[in-house]
Amino acid sequence: MKSPTFLPLGCMAAITLASAAASAQKAPEVIETLVIYGTQVEQWKLARQSITNTQTDFGAGARLDPAELLLAIPGVQVDSRTNYAQDTRISLRGFGARSAFGVRGIDLLVDGIPMSTPDGQGQLSSVMLDAVTAAQVLRGPLASLYGNGAGGVIAVQTAVPQQSQLAVASVGGDQGLKRYQVQGDFRRENFAVRGQFADTRVDGDRPHSAAEREQAAVQLFYTTSNNLDVRIKHEQSDDPLLEDPLGLTPEQWRTDPWQKNPLAETYNTRKSVKHQQTSISLREQQGATRWQTAVWQGERDITQYLGFIGDGISGSGGVVDLARDFAGASATVTHSTQLLSVPIELSLGAEAAKMEDRRRGYVNNLGVAGDLRRDELGEASGRDIYTLIQLNPLQPLTLYTGARRSWLDIDVDDYFIVPGNPDDSGMRDYREHSYALGGNYQFANHWEIFASTGRGYETPTLTEMAYKTGATGLNTQLEAAINHQHQWGLQYQQQDQLQFSITHFIIDTDNEIVVDQSIGGRTSFRNAAETEREGVELFARVALNELWKLQASAQSMHADYSAGQWSGKQLPGVAREQYQLGVEWLPLRNDLLQVNLIAQQRSRIFTADNNQIAAPGFYTLDFSVQGEYEIQSWGLDWWLKLANLRDENHVGSVVVNQSNGRAFEPALGRNFSGGVKIAHRF
């Protein structure tokens, strides 16, 4: 039964929607299609199936956390760990909630270039978010056409520089936050270039949680005389020190959420990361036949000291040393024609990607790497072909169907074979397919109904296959999770006035990949029998007048095991209810001063399959003011933010099925931050 504590914000959202429909006058332009530059073609008009946040929706912030880009998008659950050694966990309709680190079960794209590897793991921590101008989220059956991520697609985009400028920015705040950033843009006719550098230092709120990060990126944009768009990008990130304060038990959290975990000091738990990636995208979008292609290559080196010694001869050590090389290429061709006088678009594409993980593990001798305990080479290579057909038999009706076929090969060679530790080499091939079909029908003025259904898949990652519970060797028994998704809904969208949608979805999954055991940094996985997800999502964005803008979302989802040992239990790591409401006020009727209030409410989250322990639900308020001022060739942007205004003591994230009980990762209490940016245009 719904807790009464969720009623005030839910009622407020309902009242907001009713009043908005009556008095809406002006709203920001909303991108209606999921534009995937360089990977899929933007002619895949999955209109009204995605939701986009632009810069005006991001709100004030240091741009260190992707949560700032995804405010009020229904279906999205962002768990901020306030721990830079463990990336922010992002889940869509429950997919990705099991991730012990990084982002899982969701396809991540930056300017169309995948930030996800062929086996489905990804992260956004290395991406400079300062220049991002839009973040798009696609959920439901159509997302299965984009690859090995059943949960959905998150695509962030940067814009081509429109003028030459030099900008410097500084951010400061509680927890010893210091961030300095420089950005230079150059534009001349059809050529543009952008360069960025940022340096970040954080002392942390808990003991042993300091972080250091340096990032740099260069982008080149060029449009040829025959309208061929070219993008070249190189980015790199160096995190020399990311301390890990580790989680707390529920009892420790209730006593003092800011206390230290003694194991963090004993084993000096920390991580260092070096990441670099280069990509080239070409796109020709003129005429009846269009095409686009992209290639990318990169390296990612990680050294991580875990909170245990790891000296067992058949273990993997307490120190992780990982060197990853990855590369890929994609191409898509789209042709527009007519079939029996019916407009039709046919898109065909292919993608190939590969990653190699050279992984070593060492004994953690109180923060110093000791004897070797793991030495292996893991490879994952994927090959995909996909197609989408879209036709318009009637002016208000759009029908589409698509399919994707994937070949994923995983191969691990073990080089640490000693008495007591047998050969753990192994391989596993996955051959999967996905499909989707659906349609949109516009009726009356600005109203539309939509429906879609499809089949998707999610293979285990190389990391998820690394361990078995109670045994050694590659976990080749893990099967791909197969899901059948259905969704339908109603949407109202009037340009520059109001956007509103309500969506109902049902997801049935066989062989759901879930955490079996997580202890001492070693997480093993298994296939659950079946799971079911069913929910309703509401979304609204409206400008009531020149002074007020509102954005609201609500989600109610039942995500439960439907068979097996835990039948009837709620999936751990997944909130059943979530509400968000953002209010923007422009007291001067311009951008000189903007006042924002953001409220978020979330229900409890279970930490394990048995549902015996849960992180309590919470309600937070964030208040911010910001402004923009321009005089001649100079521009000044500033912002101030007071987060968690009520100083709510809550758990930001949980470690799913953590066997040692330290599953709670505290969120920040009341904290203050601010930033200023000065730009000179020439």
Instruction: Output the DSSP codes for 3-20.
Output: -GGGHHHHHHHHHHHHHH
Containing structural domain, residue 52: 4-176+328-359+368-681
In the chain the first and final C-alpha atoms are separated, in Å, by: 60
State the Cα–Cα distance between residues 333 and 344, nearest whole angstrom. Answer: 14
Position 674 scores a pLDDT of: 97
| Domain assignment present for 590 | yes
Model confidence, pTM: 0.89
Residue 646 and residue 612 in contact, taking contact as beta carbons nearer than 8 Å: no
State the Cα–Cα distance between residues 242 and 210, nearest whole angstrom. Answer: 6
Does the pLDDT of residue 7 top 50, yes or no? no
| Domain assignment present for 403 | yes
- What is the number of structural domains in the chain? 1
Which residues are 635's β-sheet partners? 630, 679
Helix (H) or strand (E) holding 21: helix 7-23
| Domain assignment present for 423 | yes
The CA-atom distances, in angstroms, between 446 and each of 17, 43, 441, 497, 605 are 16, 21, 11, 11, 38
Pairing of strands 152-158, 106-110: parallel
With CA atoms as reference, report the closest residue to 417 among 373, 378, 464, 465: 373
510-544 per-position pLDDT tens digit: 998 888 877 655 678 888 878 999 999 999 999 99
Position 97 scores a pLDDT of: 84
Residue 138 CA, distance from chain mean position:
11
Pairing of strands 191-202, 577-585: unpaired
Average pLDDT over residues 505-514: 91
| Domain assignment present for 157 | yes
261-292 per-position pLDDT tens digit: 999 999 999 999 999 999 999 999 888 999 99
One-letter amino acid for residue 96 of the chain: G
Q: Which residues contact 632 (CB under 8 A, 6 or more apart)?
A: none
| Domain assignment present for 604 | yes
Position 292 scores a pLDDT of: 93
Pairing of strands 594-602, 577-585: antiparallel
Q: Torsions phi, psi of 35, nearest 5?
A: -95, 110
pLDDT band at 30 (very low <50, low <70, confident <90, very high): very low
| Domain assignment present for 551 | yes
Which residues are 188's β-sheet partners? 191
Residue 552 and residue 501 in contact, taking contact as beta carbons nearer than 8 Å: no
Q: CA torsion, points 280, 286, 287, 288, in degrees to nearest 10?
A: 50
One-letter amino acid for residue 652 of the chain: G
Residue 141 and residue 454 in contact, taking contact as beta carbons nearer than 8 Å: yes
What CATH number is associated with residue 152? 2.40.170.20
| Domain assignment present for 34 | yes
Helix (H) or strand (E) holding 266: helix 262-266
Residue 623 and residue 640 in contact, taking contact as beta carbons nearer than 8 Å: no
Tokens describing residue 313 = 């001869």
| Domain assignment present for 534 | yes
52-102 per-position pLDDT tens digit: 898 888 888 888 888 889 988 999 999 887 888 888 889 999 988 877 777
Does the pLDDT of residue 484 top 90, yes or no? yes
Residue 596 CA, distance from chain mean position:
24
Which DSSP category does 462 fall into? Answer: T
The CA-atom distances, in angstroms, between 568 and each of 55, 120, 564, 603 are 41, 28, 9, 18
Judged by DSSP in three states, 22 sits in helix
Tokens describing residue 251 = 């009892």
